[in-house]
Amino acid sequence: MATACPPLSLPPAYLPRRSTRADPARRALPSVRCSAVGEVVAETAAVGTAEEPLLVSAIKGRKVERPPVWLMRQAGRYMKSYQLLCERHPSFRERSENVDLVVEISLQPWKVFKPDGVILFSDILTPLPGMNIPFDIVKGKGPVIFDPLRTAAAVNEVREFVPEEWVPYVGQALNLLREEVNNEAAVLGFVGAPFTLASYCVEGGSSKNFSKIKKMAFSEPEILHNLLQKFTTSMANYIKYQADNGAQAVQIFDSWATELSPVDFEEFSLPYLKQIVDSVKETHPELPLILYASGSGGLLERLPLTGVDVVSLDWTVDMAEGRKRLGSNIAVQGNVDPGVLFGSKEFISKRIHDTVQKAGNSGHVLNLGHGIKVGTPEENVAHFFEVAKGIRY
């Protein structure tokens, strides 16, 4: 049936403003939906409780007034404040392993943009030293694994990760972030997925063709399965540790799983992701888990089989088509092209509204389809958040 008004938003003058501080009880704001021509129906929509931020409410399928919004890599090199901090602390390892610096960097975008998710500033490789895998992140080169894992003997030396012993600063930082954010946003943790971590460790760092890990997968699969199992057990424990220290949702990054064919994804990634989810849900059944795999269009129908609560889409998948392919029982995140943030403010607004309209009014977390790119104008990021937070279903 035709509608008499736009499906997503009203002019700014008519939009109710959300307080930047969480109320002590669930608060309802007036919202408007369109029905038959000429008919405007008033509704109310929850924006969260003192116990449950908007982002968590949306993921759990509750009725919300607008999609929550945060951006991958929202703390990082595009921000002038981060650049100045890097001048004083040039080592990435220092910035990501010092409690005070982790908290300061994590809060930089929060203080400026007030996103609905505040993600811990860290790296998916942070657990590696605690697993007996030395590494560093070299400026201009990226991650470097000093002793790549390419033999059964090397994999046997990998030990189970005990976060309490090796990354106590992560737990301390998460607790401090919860205190600082005070449930006005959800505090997010994250981990790397087993296949992606294994890819770094076997390749020795980043890779373009992944020939070394594929050689292992296709000629000595038992060695790779042994390594993947070690990462699976360790990352499940790491997620639980983050949740116990304040993370209200955790994102799993399987950045390199999409280098696998569907049949190989089903052997070398999917069962290990499912193990992680099953293990976490046994002890933390209410913790939302988000899965992001860049370039996952060819694997999309398989991603919900992991059991995660949210699939984060990259920008190469049309949001409406992605929703249809994933099914109605899972939330989605994304998926504006990060390059859009180099466009005009009008163009940015258009793409935001297009994405939100295609995602529908339930179970959607607005985000980019990848991390913010270096050189993105801060004022365009500010505009993204302003437009996103002004939307009303």
Do 74 and 119 form a contact (C-beta atoms < 8 A)?
yes
Q: Does residue 21 form part of some domain?
A: no
Q: For the CA atoms of 147, 148, 151, 152, what is the dihedral angle to 10 degrees?
A: 80
- Segment 156-179 mean pLDDT: 98
Q: Look at residue 337 and tell me if it is in a domain.
A: yes
Q: Round to whole Å and give the CA distance between 306 and 254.
A: 12
Biggest distance spanned by C-alpha atoms of the chain: 72
The answer, yes or no, to whether residue 17 has pLDDT greater than 90, is: no
Could you tell me which of 318, 333, 320 has the C-alpha nearest to residue 71?
333
Total number of domains in the chain: 1
| Domain annotation covers residue 346 | yes
Distance CA 193, CA 299 (A): 15
Let me know if residue 14 belongs to a domain.
Answer: no
For residue 42, the model assigns a pLDDT of 34
pLDDT band for 315, please (50, 70, 90 cuts): very high
Sign for the pseudo-dihedral over CA of 36, 37, 41, 47 = positive
Q: How many Cα neighbours within 13 Å face the side chain of 266?
A: 8
Q: How far apart are CA 268 and CA 195, in angstroms?
A: 7
State the average pLDDT over residues 247-273.
Answer: 96
pLDDT band at 140 (very low <50, low <70, confident <90, very high): confident
Annotate the chain with three-state secondary structure: CCCCCCCCCCCHHHCCCCCCCCCCCCCEEEEEEECCCCCEEEEEEECCCCCCCHHHHHHCCCCECCCCECCCCCCCCCCHHHHHHHHHCCCHHHHHHCHHHHHHHHHHHHHHHCCCEEECCCCCCCCHHHHCCCEEEECCCEEEECCCCCCHHHHHCCCCCCHHHHCHHHHHHHHHHHHHHCCCCEEEEEEECHHHHHHHHHHCECCCCCHHHHHHHHHCHHHHHHHHHHHHHHHHHHHHHHHHCCCCEEEEECCCHHHCCHHHHHHHCHHHHHHHHHHHHHHCCCCCEEEECCCHHHHHHHHHHHCCCEEECCCCCCHHHHHHHHCCCCEEEEEECHHHHHCCHHHHHHHHHHHHHHHCCCCEEEEECCCCCCCCCHHHHHHHHHHHHHCCC
Residue 41, pLDDT above cutoff 50: no
**CA end-to-end span of the chain:** 18
Asked if the model's pLDDT at residue 65 lies above 90, the reply is: yes
What per-residue confidence (pLDDT) applies to 252?
Answer: 98
Report the chain's mean pLDDT, rounded to a whole number.
89
CB 250 within 8 A of CB 243: yes
Where residue 285 falls among pLDDT bands split at 50, 70, 90?
very high
The residues pairing with 46 across neighbouring beta strands, listed in sequence order, are 28, 64
Q: pLDDT tens digits, residue range 50-63?
A: 579 999 999 999 99
Peptide bond into 335 cis (omega under 30): yes
Query: What letter represents residue 133's amino acid?
Result: I
Give residue 15's pLDDT: 30
Decide if pLDDT at 272 tops 70. yes
Is the pLDDT at 125 greater than 90, yes or no?
Answer: yes
CATH number of the domain where residue 190 is located: 3.20.20.210
Query: How far apart, in Å, are the Cα atoms of 202 and each of 170, 245, 272, 283?
Result: 26, 31, 17, 31
Q: What pLDDT was estimated at residue 36?
A: 33
Q: How far is CA 259 from the centre of its chain?
A: 20
Contact 115, 79 (CB under 8 A): no
Q: Is residue 44 part of a domain?
A: no
What is the per-residue pLDDT for 47?
53
β-bridge mates for residue 188, sequence order: 119, 249
Instruction: Provide the pLDDT for residue 138.
Output: 86
Quick: pLDDT tens for 329-354. 999 999 999 999 999 999 999 999 99
- Domain range for 277 is 54-390
> Would the pLDDT of 6 be above 80?
no
Report CA-CA distances (Å) from 197 to 114, 138, 232, 268, 360.
31, 17, 10, 12, 34
Q: Is residue 41 part of a domain?
A: no
Assess whether pLDDT exceeds 80 at residue 33. Answer: no
Q: Please report which confidence band the pLDDT of residue 21 belongs to, taking 50, 70 and 90 as the band edges.
A: very low
Distance, in Å, from the CA atom of 386 to the CA atom of 45, rounded to the nearest integer, reads 19
Answer whether residue 8 is part of any domain: no
Residue 176 within any structural domain of the chain: yes
Instruction: Please indicate whether residue 138 or residue 107 has the higher confidence score (pLDDT).
Output: 107
Instruction: Give the mean model confidence (pLDDT) for residues 89-99.
Output: 95
Amino acid at 64: V
